[in-house]
């Protein structure tokens, strides 16, 4: 299945994205980013034109099989050892500082 779409990024979009991500981008850098992203989109469009109907998907370019191993427990009763690393003392779970307000 081939998807046809044409996407372009303009300076207004780059400025909007930079504002949302709180990254300062001057006009010269914004123009370069827009050109780079548009070039990437053109390359994606070229890839979408390829007929891959009879090609199996790959998870890797190397044709190797993963070796299977037994699922074994290597160490037991490490809970206390792990909980010693908690910033706050608690015997039931790992306590960390709040990061979201």
The angle formed by the CA atoms of residues 58, 62 and 67, to the nearest 5 degrees, is 95
Instruction: Give 86-92's long-range contacts (Cβ < 8 A, gap of 24+).
Output: none
Name the CATH code of domain 11-48 (choices 1.10.20, 3.40.720, 1.10.3680, 1.20.1730): 1.10.20
pLDDT in tens, 37-88: 999 999 988 888 889 899 888 878 887 887 888 888 887 777 878 887 777 7
On whether the CB atoms of residues 45 and 6 are closer than 8 A, the answer is yes
Distance CA(95)–CA(83), nearest Å, equals: 9
* pLDDT of amino acid 80: 79
């Amino acid at each position: 299945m081939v998807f046809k779409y044409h996407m372009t990024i303009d300076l207004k979009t780059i400025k909007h994205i930079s504002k949302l991500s709180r990254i300062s981008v001057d006009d010269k850098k914004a123009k370069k980013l827009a050109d780079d992203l548009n070039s990437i989109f053109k390359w994606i469009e070229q890839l979408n034109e390829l007929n891959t109907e009879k090609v199996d998907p790959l998870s890797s370019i190397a044709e190797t099989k993963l070796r299977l191993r037994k699922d074994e427990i290597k160490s037991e009763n490490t809970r206390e050892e792990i909980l010693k690393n908690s910033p706050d003392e608690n015997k039931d779970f790992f306590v960390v500082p709040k990061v979201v307000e």
